[in-house]
Amino acid sequence: MSETTPNPNAGRIVNCDRCAVRCRIAATSNDQARLLKHAKDRGFCPNCAITAWLRRFIESPHMKAALACNPSGEKPPECFRLPHLQEQIGRVLAAGQADLPAEALDWDEIIANWDLPFPGQIEPLFP
């Protein structure tokens, strides 16, 4: 059973730091989340948060190798339209106890905004 921490800014409306979409600050965050925790006062919308994670993840040697032998030939971001990739990402989110449920993701929006810049530097997952 996961423990949660209440957020004193719960319910406040903020803009995503990347795409400027309006977001509501969540009431709590999962203390056990190992990836994609709810923002406490500002940050990224769900679609930009997963984009930041995916853009770092696809730089890993294993992911580069997997994408190179993709039989459909789809490359990021278009490959994220593939249902089996969406399902796998959902499983990773669940295994990491992420605050972000896979159902909250809008894959069309993620793909459309793929090339938007991020404020600051995105740190690699596998330096």
pLDDT in tens, the chain (127 residues): 568 999 999 999 999 999 999 999 999 999 999 888 888 888 999 999 999 999 888 877 777 776 666 667 677 888 899 898 899 999 999 999 999 999 999 999 999 999 999 998 766 665 5
Q: What is the pTM of this model?
A: 0.85
Per the DSSP assignment, residues forming a β-bridge with 80 are none
pLDDT given for residue 96 in this prediction = 94
> 3 near 32, Cβ under 8 Å?
yes
Beta strands 13-15; 22-24: pairing state: antiparallel
Per the DSSP assignment, residues forming a β-bridge with 60 are none
